[in-house]
Amino acid sequence: MKELTPSMLIAVFEEIFGPWLFWALVAVAALIGAAFLYVVIRDRTLKSRDFLRAELWAPVGAIAAILFVQFMTNSRFRDVGGPIDVIMLITIGLAGAVGLTIFAYVVLELLWPAGDEGRD
């Protein structure tokens, strides 16, 4: 494993999650990303008040992502061995936090558009 290539990363992720779950996760992430772009283009801005509300879900996303990966890899916190493991845990947590924040923002904007009085 001298080089880190995209095809090698895909193979590793397919080995960890299984091909069906991995590609389902990729598809869901793409759909959420497209919905986020739709909402931002539709509103022509990123509403700071709504984004701040969505950011409240970030810790939940970080914890869920870390626990999900530990469940899929059959590992525990006691298995964290060195700095690269800590860096990977932080990266997984950040990815989960950002992902759930974007998802929460999209849900908030799609269910209660800008002119709706029910959010305040």
The pLDDT score that the predictor gives to residue 116 is 53
Domain ranges of the chain: 6-111
d(CA 17, CA 33): 21
Query: Looking at the predicted structure, is the pLDDT value of residue 38 above 90?
Result: yes
- CA dihedral 35→52→64→41, nearest 10 degrees, is 10
Q: Which of 15-24, 77-86, 100-109 has the lowest mean pLDDT?
A: 77-86
Q: How many CA atoms lie within 13 A of 85 on its CB side?
A: 10
Contact 110, 39 (CB under 8 A): yes
Q: How many CB atoms lie within 10 A of CB 87?
A: 10
Residue 54's pLDDT band (boundaries 50, 70, 90)?
very high
Q: Is the pLDDT of residue 51 over 70?
A: yes
Could you give the percent of the chain with pLDDT greater than 90?
71
